[in-house]
Amino acid sequence: MPRRTVQEWDVPAIKAEISRRGFNQAQLALHLGFTPSRFRHVWNRTDRPVEQKLCDWINEEIKVSIKELWPDRYPISTTRGYDSKRNGPPRSQKCLERSDAERAA
């Protein structure tokens, strides 16, 4: 099987790979040691242990990194603050017009 590119590894492609190997999501979750409900959440929210086990399972046949499966989740960012170098200067949430107190007076 030809190697997939980064753009091709989206949720439907991962689910198709699971199906191609003869598993459904619940069966694979139990096979990997997770509950089906926990495994089901990996598509919508970050769960590092599930993501890693799924990547390792896919790697048995196809060499793909975890960064290729979830490019928006990796590399792991440790900063939660606003990155002005990346996003530009912050804009104030306050309106440039007069405040409500000034308007009421």
Q: Which amino acid is located at 8 in the chain?
A: E
pLDDT tier for residue 36 given thresholds of 50, 70 and 90: very high
38/88 Cα distance (integer angstroms): 37
Return the pLDDT at 101: 64
Phi, psi of 60 (to 5 degrees): -60, -35
Residue 7 confidence class, pLDDT cut points 50, 70, 90: very low
Q: Is the dihedral of CA 14, 11, 74, 23 positive or negative?
A: negative
Query: What DSSP designation does 26 have?
Result: H
Task: Output the six-digit token pair for 13.
Answer: 């492609």
Quick: pLDDT tens for 80-103.
Answer: 677 777 777 766 666 556 666 666
Structure tokens at 60: 């048995």
Please report, for the chain, the start and end positions of each structural domain, with discontinuous segments joined by +: 6-75
Cα separation, 66 vs 79, whole angstroms: 20
- Secondary-structure class of domain 6-75 per CATH: mainly alpha
Average pLDDT of the chain?
80
